[in-house]
Every structure is written in structure tokens, then in C-alpha cells.
């Protein structure tokens, strides 16, 4: 029998470029092991000060649109007070105010309840840190 609360950590390598990494399959695989077919909630959390979790359509250009929009809102310039790392790295520390570092989603019958075109994505604009951890936690009844 599955426990009411189960958690696991994904190690994700995002590379040396800004990225939107689709984690949907990883979330579904975790739920297959953790949910026992039960209803509950999946919490996705990235414990980094320069990354976030987004629910959006991927593969149709929306992921690139998100990165372009973040560039327009948060240009990689040296105007930020937080100045260590690559030039303009301060913007990466502002990112989680726009793309939260967490999301909580419904799980019904052990399956992630997403809309037809929705995916769970890690948004990472920090090119100085290519290794990320993402914590998946299932709370079920």
C-alpha cells in the first residue's frame, strides 16, 4: 500500500543555454510509483533561487515565447544590484517572482490532471548552473 505522502528528487541538466524543460513524463512516472492509483495532489518544487516551474504548452513555440517574454521583461543587463556570475545574472534572481518555484496539481485516480495542451516545465534562465534538482511530492488519500 502506498503512503499518504511520498517524495522524490529529479536531477535535471539544463545545459549552457536558457531553457524550458518539459518534466511532464517525469511527473507521470513518479505518480505511477507513488500514487497507488489514488486521488491527491502533486507538488513540484525547484529549490533554486534562479529557476521556476510553469504549466504551459510546449512544442508549438510557447516555450520560446516565454523565454523571449522574460528577456523583454528582465533583460540580461548589469542594472541589477545582485551582480555575481555572468553579466546580467541578477535577472535570474528576479525570475522566481514571475515564474514561481512551485506548482501544485490535482491527481485523479493516480493520473496527473492537465489540460489537453498543458505540460509541467522547469524554466531555467541561469546559464551559470546547469544542474538542477526538482522535488516531486505526492499527497494522497
Residue 85's closest CA among 48, 114, 53?
A: 48
Q: How confident is the model at residue 1 (pLDDT cuts 50, 70, 90)?
A: very low
CA-based max dimension of the chain = 54
Task: Give me the domains of the chain, ranges plus CATH numbers.
Answer: 22-140 (2.60.120.460)
* Grid coordinates belonging to 71: 528577456
pTM score, whole prediction = 0.94
Element of type H or E holding 62? helix 62-73
pLDDT digits (tens, 9 = 90+) for 58-71: 989 999 999 999 99
Q: Is 3 exposed, middle or buried (0-12, 13-18, 19+ CB in 10 A)?
A: exposed
8 Å CB contact between 129 and 19: no
Amino acid at each position: 500500500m502506498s503512503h499518504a505522502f511520498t517524495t522524490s528528487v529529479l536531477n535535471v541538466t539544463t545545459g549552457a543555454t536558457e531553457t524550458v524543460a518539459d518534466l511532464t513524463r517525469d511527473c507521470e512516472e513518479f505518480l505511477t510509483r507513488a500514487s497507488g492509483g489514488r486521488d491527491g495532489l502533486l507538488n513540484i518544487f525547484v529549490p533554486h533561487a534562479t529557476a521556476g516551474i510553469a504549466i504551459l504548452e510546449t512544442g508549438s513555440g510557447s516555450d520560446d515565447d516565454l523565454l523571449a517574454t522574460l528577456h523583454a521583461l528582465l533583460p540580461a543587463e548589469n542594472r541589477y544590484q545582485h551582480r555575481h556570475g555572468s553579466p546580467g545574472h541578477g535577472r535570474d534572481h528576479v525570475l522566481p517572482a514571475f515564474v514561481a518555484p512551485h506548482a501544485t496539481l490535482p491527481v485523479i485516480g493516480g493520473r496527473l490532471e492537465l489540460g489537453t495542451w498543458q505540460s509541467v516545465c522547469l524554466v531555467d534562465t541561469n546559464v551559470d548552473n546547469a544542474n538542477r534538482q526538482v522535488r516531486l511530492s505526492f499527497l494522497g488519500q
